[in-house]
């Protein structure tokens, strides 16, 4: 074997340096296992440096047009095993996304991991953490399908170990099991796709041409990639692992998993379907669009029902992956119709939403981690009143919630707006069936946006406002400052992208330009203030900066009017009327279950809600000793799709094992005998 | 020379058929001894030939070792094992003997069919030596399947080994010296271990009927 670090192009070496730094961080973490605090500090610092290098390299790469030659890391005698890095604009964009997130999460981890000191193997945790970031980076920068596959598998396995890191809880082990089964199912489909690719082209080069592959095989490859990447992305109905795995993992890891790992699937879809297979069939885009719509609506519907903060966020990831896939679907449809402009626009929107989602979902998971750090619970029904105890965290979580609900002036608005624009444009040009699909998608997107806002009103309102609902919440303290710094940087990015979207749109635009050969940024006209850049496409224009100013002005005017007509505001102090009970307590507050009740009734066909009231009779009917009220919802996918399949598989395997494994030596010898005869026969015939 | 070899290969095949036709465990061992003697004779002939033509002595040495291990020592070990455990006569095969012999005939025909067009073996005419020796391997395996008692499995295993050894001799005039020595040592150790296992099985189940091992299944 020959290790060759070729010195081609500075930028590629920067990427390589980032990979190596993560590797060093992982090794150092193992070396310093005994000194928890030092280990944590050193590992995360190295990760931060690596992330900064990654950001620099990605920005340099995005601003140059040169096509860089691949860098070979490892050339071996084993057939096809060639580890090489190839970085185009698409890879660079995703590296930027990963590095920004990794930077903030690493800063956060310095504080967050403190609760593991002297309790768990911090060295091993940090080893897995750094290796996990490295594997994700390698997925993005790999230059051929074999390297991609190896990195993908490494990423899946390392994340599995992170999911079961707190393995003393049965539910975490169960989540890990479900995750590894689902992820390997997806990987198997990817492998089939790569094998079809090799069968026709005799090469694993994913930057090459797919001209030799016939149409049927291309359709088959697309299906395999869709299932394979769809499983990782967590689209409905393959989302089943996501709401279990994300809550099980430590919060900083959930932030990486939800923020970036599921995005590697988006990268894979763009890389293999859009770049490699060159979308030719209209139905590819239509299928992705449909899956996106279903994931977006159902994902957010399940989000509303969850009271476990991390499960809630996990379902919300399903929703956002749905939104991203809606954009990607439009891009594919337009690419199949050779409409380069619309395809570019939709791709820019997709990429931007991917980037934005990494920022605010990463931030929200970090926020959930802070809550868990301070209150030791994931159940939002036990929180409340935290805005007084943890003001900084509260403000940051509010920022992320606004961003994810697509509210001006945060970044979520920009990308969703672009996706709307793409969908509207798709109506004008498409055929009748596609027009209906686009219109329905717009309606579904609007519905999911509104429901997402409701879900985050619930999340923020129940956890941060009101009175504390448990002792833990009452005794919560503000988390260490480094944790807030990590989240703060993410929040700042959310705000900056929201107010100055043009520069970030340009970054995404360079990717779309390099893939589809059509630039969008120039058609997005500049605004009248230098700070605002309206995104104008065919008359539907809006300037986030101007909206922000308008919003401020409107609020000020309303306040002024109130002041003018109603006079000076006077604070009055009275006891609130408590309906005749002795005093007001936390249990009289609105609960998360109560908040989501109207939606549970409206969408009861989806949730199949059930409830149970147990009343312990007291002396009179009006004074029961205790009343227990329990409400639950069912997951129709688990009940009607997965359970039957698992049942059949399980009973089938149980029967099979007794049929094949008889325990008789003679039968085992017979198997050998028959297989030898069969092989000899095969040799004769073929 | 070829005539001698052809005749010996047929004799080896016949010995395999005799083995399949044996009813008593004691006669398995005698037949195996006879077969091993044929193998040793074959090795001797090829050894003399290679000594005369190329001056190599390694095949002759192998022949001497075969006589020592397979013709004398292993049958002696088996007889000792057998004497200790065989206190009961019971039916030892699943199918009756005529049926087994007919199946063996089919195995030979199958081998003939399979090897008749394999490239690199046949030079103009079909290589009967190869057909016979490969048949020997398969019959050995089939013998293991057809017998219930553990001694049957041991003998079947040894027949397979004989078959492989003979195939190597016919195909390339014997494998490298060190490989042959290694294989013979393995066989010796395997037989010793299997002999001990037979004792254990007998102790545990009161029989050396391998079928009873089924009871161990969970």
Please give the residue of chain A at the shortest CA–CA distance from B139. A673
User: Judged by CB atoms within 8 Å, which residues 143-202 of B form the interface with A?
Assistant: 144-145, 148, 153
CA dihedral A263, A268, A271, A274 (to 10 degrees): -90
Question: Is the Cβ–Cβ distance between A284 and A375 less than 8 Å?
Answer: no
Residue whose structure tokens are 């030939």 = B49
Cα–Cα dist A8/A69, whole Å: 7
Phi/psi of residue A616, nearest 5 degrees: -95, 115
A669 neighbourhood in chain B, CB within 8 Å? 141, 144-145
Q: Do A663 and B211 touch (CB under 8 A)?
A: no
Bond preceding residue A237 cis, omega within 30 of 0: yes
CB-based contact A666 B138, cutoff 8 Å: no
- Counting one residue from A and one from B, how many pairs have CB atoms under 8 Å apart? 45
Q: What is the mean pLDDT of residues A423-434?
A: 74
**Which residue on chain A is closest to B148 by alpha carbon?**
A666
Please check whether residue A476 is in contact with residue A325, taking contact to mean a CB–CB distance below 8 angstroms.
no
Quick check: A377 pLDDT over 60? yes
Contacts of B144 in chain A (CB under 8 A): 666, 669
CB contact under 8 A, A680 and B114: yes
Predicted confidence (pLDDT) at residue A39 exceeds the cutoff of 80: yes
Chain B (90-129) residues lying within 8 Å, Cβ to Cβ, of chain A: 94, 110-111, 113-114, 117-118
Q: Which two tokens stand for residue A231?
A: 């499983």
Selecting from B111, B114, B142 the residue whose C-beta is nearest the C-beta of A673 gives: B142
Contacts of B213 in chain A (CB under 8 A): 663-665
**CA–CA separation, A415 vs A535, rounded Å?**
11
Q: How far is CA A241 from CA A151, A330, A448, in A?
A: 20, 27, 21
CA of B94: which chain A residue's CA is closest? A666
Q: Please indicate whether, in this complex, the C-beta atoms of B213 and A677 are within 8 angstroms of each other.
A: no
Interface test with B, best of A666, A676, A679, A683 (most B CBs within 10 A): A666
Share of chain A above pLDDT 70, in %: 94
Candidates B142, B153, B217; nearest CB to A663: B217
* Chain A: residue whose CA lies nearest to B113: A684
DSSP secondary structure letters along A330-374: HHHHHHHTT-HHHHHHHHHHHHHHHHHHHHHHHHHHHHHHHHHHH
Roughly how many angstroms between the first and final C-alpha of chain B, as a whole number?
A: 56
Give the alpha-carbon dihedral of A205, A206, A211, A212, to 10 degrees. Answer: 50
Nearest-angstrom CA–CA distance, B35 and B32: 5
Residue A677 and residue B217: Cβ atoms within 8 Å? no
Residue B38 has pLDDT above 70, yes or no: yes
Nearest to A673 among B111, B141, B214 (CB): B141
Separation in Å, CA of B110 to nearest CA in chain A: 9
Structural domain count of chain B = 1
Write the pLDDT tens digit of every residue in B92-122: 778 889 999 999 999 999 999 888 877 777 7
Does residue B147 register a pLDDT over 50?
A: yes
CB contact under 8 A, B110 and A680: yes
DSSP string, A119-187: TS-HHHHHHHHHHHHHHHHHHHHB-SHHHHHHHHHHHHHHHHHHHTTTTTSHHHHHHHHHHHHHHHHHH
User: Shortest Cα distance from B116 to chain A (angstroms)?
Assistant: 9
Q: What is the pLDDT of residue A2?
A: 35
Phi, psi of A273 (to 5 degrees): -90, -50
CA–CA distance, A143 with A414 (Å, rounded to integer): 32
Tokens 């009917």 correspond to A621
Q: Write down the domain spans for chain A.
A: 1-143, 590-632, 637-685
Cβ <8 Å between A664 and B213? yes
* Amino acid A134: pLDDT: 94
CA distance A37 to A41: 6
Whether cis (ω within 30° of 0) applies to the bond prior to A554 is no
Q: How far apart are CA A495 and CA A360, in angstroms?
A: 10
Using the structure block, give the residue that is written with the tokens 């199946």.
Answer: B103
Which residue from A663, A676, A684 is facing B214, i.e. has the nearest CB? A663
A286-290, B22-26, B178-182, range with the lowest pLDDT: B22-26
Who among B111, B117, B214 is closest to A664 (CB)? B214
**Spatial CA neighbour of B35 closest among B148, B166, B145:** B166
Minimum Cα–Cα distance from B134: chain A residue: A680
Mutate to test the interface with B, among A669, A671, A675, A685 (most CBs of B within 10 A): A669
Buried b (16+ CB within 10 A) or exposed e, B38-72: bbbbbbbbbbebbeeeeebebbbebbebbbebbbe
Q: Cα angle vertex A160, ends A183, A308, to 5°?
A: 95
Give the helix/strand (H/E) hosting A524: none
Picking from A657, A663, A670 by the largest number of B CB atoms within 10 A of its own CB, the best residue to mutate is: A663
Question: Could you say which DSSP state residue A308 is in?
Answer: B
Check if the beta carbon of residue B100 is closer than 8 Å to that of residue B93: yes
* Contacts with B110 from chain A: Cβ below 8 Å: 677, 680-681
The reply to whether residue A665 touches residue B217, judged by beta carbons under 8 angstroms, is: no
CB within 8 A of B29, min separation 6: which ones?
Answer: B75, B78, B79, B82, B151, B155
CA distance B131 to chain A (A): 12
The whole-angstrom distance between B1's CA and the closest CA on chain A is: 29
pLDDT band at A544 (very low <50, low <70, confident <90, very high): low
pLDDT band at A435, cuts 50/70/90?
Answer: confident
**Tokens matching residue A300:** 């957010």
Q: Which stretches of chain A sit within 8 Å of chain B by CB? A: 661-666, 669-670, 672-673, 676-677, 680-681, 683-684
Q: What is the pLDDT of residue A312?
A: 92
- For A622, residues 6+ apart whose C-beta sits below 8 A from its C-beta are none
Judging contacts by C-beta atoms under 8 Å, the chain A residues touching residue B217 are 661-663
- On chain A, the residues whose CB falls within 8 A of the CB of B207 are none
pLDDT, residue A11, reads 60
Residue from the list A661, A669, A684 with its beta carbon closest to the beta carbon of B145: A669
Q: Residue B144 sits in which domain range?
A: 2-216
- Tell me the chain B residues in contact with residue A672 when contact means C-beta distances shorter than 8 Å: 141
Contact A199, A234 (CB under 8 A): no
> Taking the CA of residue A471 as centre, how many other CA atoms within 13 Å lie in the half-sphere pointing to its CB?
0
pLDDT of res. A542 = 60
**Within a 10 A sphere around the Cβ of A670, how many other Cβ atoms?**
16
Query: Model confidence over A175-222: pLDDT tens digits?
Result: 999 999 999 999 999 999 999 999 998 888 888 888 888 889 999 999
Paired strand residues for A629: A613
pLDDT exceeds 70 at position A7: no
Least reliable range by pLDDT among A614-623, A640-649, B135-144: A614-623
The arithmetic mean of pLDDT across residues A527-547, rounded, is: 47
As a whole number, the mean pLDDT across chain A is: 86
> What are the chain A neighbours of B94 within 8 Å (beta carbons)?
666
Residue B94 and residue A666: Cβ atoms within 8 Å? yes
Give the mean pLDDT of A9-17: 73
List chain B residues with CB under 8 Å of A663: 213-214, 216-217
Q: What is the 3-state secondary structure (H, E, C) of A204-260?
A: CCCCCCCCCCCHHHHHHHHHHHHHHHHHHHCCCCCHHHHHHHHHHCCHHHHHHHHHH
Confidence band, pLDDT 50/70/90 cuts, at residue A1: very low
Q: How far is B118 from chain A (nearest CA, A)?
A: 7
pLDDT tens readout for residues A561-609: 988 888 777 788 887 777 777 777 777 888 888 888 888 888 888 888 8
pLDDT category of residue A539 using cuts at 50, 70 and 90: very low
Round to the nearest angstrom and report the end-to-end CA distance of chain A: 36
CB contact under 8 A, B216 and A670: no
């Amino acid at each position: 074997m020959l290790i060759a670090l070729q010195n081609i192009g500075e930028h590629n070496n920067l990427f390589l340096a980032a990979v190596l730094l993560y590797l060093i961080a992982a090794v150092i973490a193992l070396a310093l296992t005994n000194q928890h605090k030092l280990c944590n500090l050193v590992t995360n610092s190295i990760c931060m440096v690596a992330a900064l290098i990654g950001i620099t390299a990605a920005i340099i790469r995005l601003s140059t047009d040169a096509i860089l030659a691949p860098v070979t890391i490892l050339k071996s005698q084993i057939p096809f095993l060639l580890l090489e890095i190839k970085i185009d604009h698409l890879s660079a964009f995703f590296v930027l996304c990963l590095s920004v997130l990794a930077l903030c999460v690493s800063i956060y981890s310095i504080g967050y991991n403190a609760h593991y000191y002297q309790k768990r193997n911090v060295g091993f945790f940090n080893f897995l953490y750094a290796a996990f970031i490295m594997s994700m980076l390698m997925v993005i920068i790999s230059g051929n399908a074999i390297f991609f596959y190896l990195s993908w598998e490494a990423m899946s396995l390392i994340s599995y170990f992170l999911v079961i890191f707190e393995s003393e809880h049965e539910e975490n082990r169960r989540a890990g099991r479900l995750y590894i089964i689902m992820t390997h199912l997806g990987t198997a489909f990817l492998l089939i796709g790569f094998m079809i690719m090799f069968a026709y082209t005799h090469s694993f080069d994913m930057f090459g041409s797919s001209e030799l592959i016939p149409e049927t095989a291309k359709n088959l490859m697309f299906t395999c990639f869709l299932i394979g990447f769809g499983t990782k992305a967590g689209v409905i109905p393959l989302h089943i692992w996501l709401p279990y795995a994300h809550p099980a993992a430590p919060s900083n890891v959930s932030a990486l998993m939800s923020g970036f790992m599921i995005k590697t699937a988006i990268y894979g879809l763009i890389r293999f379907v859009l770049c490699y297979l060159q979308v030719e069939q209209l139905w590819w885009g239509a299928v992705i669009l449909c899956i996106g719509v279903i994931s977006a609506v159902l994902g957010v519907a399940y989000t509303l029902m969850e009271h476990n903060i991390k499960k809630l966020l996990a379902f919300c990831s399903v929703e956002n992956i749905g939104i991203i896939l809606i954009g990607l679907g439009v891009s594919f449809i337009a690419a199949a119709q050779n409409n380069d402009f619309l395809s570019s626009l939709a791709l820019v929107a997709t990429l931007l939403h991917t980037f934005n989602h990494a920022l605010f979902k990463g931030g929200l998971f970090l926020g959930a981690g802070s809550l868990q750090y301070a209150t030791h619970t994931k159940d939002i029904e036990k929180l409340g009143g935290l805005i007084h105890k943890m003001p900084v965290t509260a403000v940051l979580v509010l920022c992320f919630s606004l961003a994810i609900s697509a509210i001006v002036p945060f970044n979520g608005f920009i990308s969703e707006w672009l996706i709307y624009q793409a969908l509207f444009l798709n109506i004008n040009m498409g055929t009748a069936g596609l027009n209906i699909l686009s219109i329905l998608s717009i309606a579904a997107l609007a519905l999911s946006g509104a429901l997402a806002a409701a879900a985050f009103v619930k999340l923020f309102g129940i956890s941060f406002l009101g009175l504390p609902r448990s002792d833990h919440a009452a005794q919560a303290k503000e988390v260490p400052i480094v944790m807030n710094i990590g989240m703060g940087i993410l929040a700042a990015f959310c705000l900056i992208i929201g107010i100055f979207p043009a520069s970030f749109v340009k970054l995404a635009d360079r990717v779309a330009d390099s893939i589809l050969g059509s630039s969008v940024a120039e058609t997005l006209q500049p605004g009248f203030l230098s700070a605002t850049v309206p995104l104008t496409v065919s008359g539907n224009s809006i300037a986030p900066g101007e909206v922000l100013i308008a919003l401020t002005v409107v609020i000020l005017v309303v306040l002024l009017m109130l002041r003018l007509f109603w006079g000076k505001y006077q604070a009055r102090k009275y006891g609130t009327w408590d309906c005749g009970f002795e005093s007001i307590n936390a249990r009289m507050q609105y609960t998360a279950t109560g908040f989501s009740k109207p939606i549970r009734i409206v969408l009861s066909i989806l949730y199949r809600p059930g409830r149970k009231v147990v009343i312990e009779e007291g002396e009179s009917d009006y004074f029961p000793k205790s009343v227990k009220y329990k409400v639950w919802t069912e997951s129709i996918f688990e009940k009607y799709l997965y359970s039957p399949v698992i049942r059949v598989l399980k009973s089938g395997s149980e029967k099979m094992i007794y049929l094949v494994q008889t325990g008789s030596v003679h039968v085992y010898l017979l198997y050998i005998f028959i297989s030898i005869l069969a092989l000899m026969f095969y040799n004769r015939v073929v | 020379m070829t005539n001698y070899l052809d005749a010996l290969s047929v004799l080896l095949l016949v010995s395999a058929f005799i083995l399949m036709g044996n009813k008593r465990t004691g006669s398995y061992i005698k037949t195996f001894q006879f077969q091993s003697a044929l193998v040793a004779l074959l090795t001797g002939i090829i050894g003399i030939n290679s000594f005369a033509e190329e001056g190599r002595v390694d095949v002759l040495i192998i022949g001497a070792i075969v006589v020592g291990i397979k013709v004398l020592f292993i049958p002696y070990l088996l007889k000792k094992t057998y004497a200790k455990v065989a206190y009961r006569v019971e039916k030892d095969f699943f199918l009756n003997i005529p049926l087994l012999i007919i199946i063996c005939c089919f195995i030979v025909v199958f081998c003939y069919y399979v090897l008749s067009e394999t490239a690199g073996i046949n030079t103009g005419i079909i290589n009967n030596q190869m057909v016979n020796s490969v048949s020997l391997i398969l019959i050995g395996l089939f013998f293991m399947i057809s017998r219930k008692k553990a001694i049957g499995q041991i003998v079947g295993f040894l027949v397979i080994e004989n078959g492989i050894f003979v195939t190597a001799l016919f195909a390339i005039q014997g494998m490298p010296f060190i490989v042959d020595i290694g294989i013979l040592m393995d066989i010796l150790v395997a037989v010793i271990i299997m002999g001990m296992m037979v004792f254990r099985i007998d102790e545990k189940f009161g029989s050396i009927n391998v079928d009873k091992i089924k009871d161990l299944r969970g």
